[in-house]
Amino acid sequence: MPELPEVEITRLGLEPLINFKVSEVVIRNSSLRWPVNKSLQKILVGMKLINLKRRGKYILAEFPKGTLIIHLGMSGHLCIVSKDREIKKHDHVDIVFDNVEHKIVRYNDPRRFGCILWTDEDPLDHKLIKHLGPEPLTNDFDGDYLFRKLTKKTVSIKNAIMNSHVVVGVGNIYASEALFHAKIRPQRESHKVSMDEITNLVSAIKGTIENAILKGGSSINNFLDVNGKNGYFQNEHQVYGRKDKPCILCKNPIQQITLGQRSSFYCKNCQK
* 173 sits in which H/E element: helix 172-182
Among candidates 102, 99, 100, 128, which has minimal Cα distance to 26?
Answer: 102
Phi, psi angle pair for 71, to nearest 5° = -125, 135
CA–CA gap between residue 40 and residue 56 (Å, rounded): 24
Name the 3-class secondary structure at 121. Answer: coil
- Partnered with residue 263 across adjacent β-strands are 258
- Partnered with residue 94 across adjacent β-strands are 26, 106
**How does 89-119 read in b/e, with b if 16+ C-beta sit within 10 Å?**
ebbbbbbbbeeeeebbbbbbbeebebbbbbb
**How does 125-157 read in b/e, with b if 16+ C-beta sit within 10 Å?**
ebebbeebbbbbeeeebebebbbebbeebebbb
Phi, psi angle pair for 102, to nearest 5° = 50, 55
CA–CA gap between residue 31 and residue 148 (Å, rounded): 40
CA–CA gap between residue 216 and residue 232 (Å, rounded): 6
* Catalytic positions, written as ranges: 2-3, 57, 262
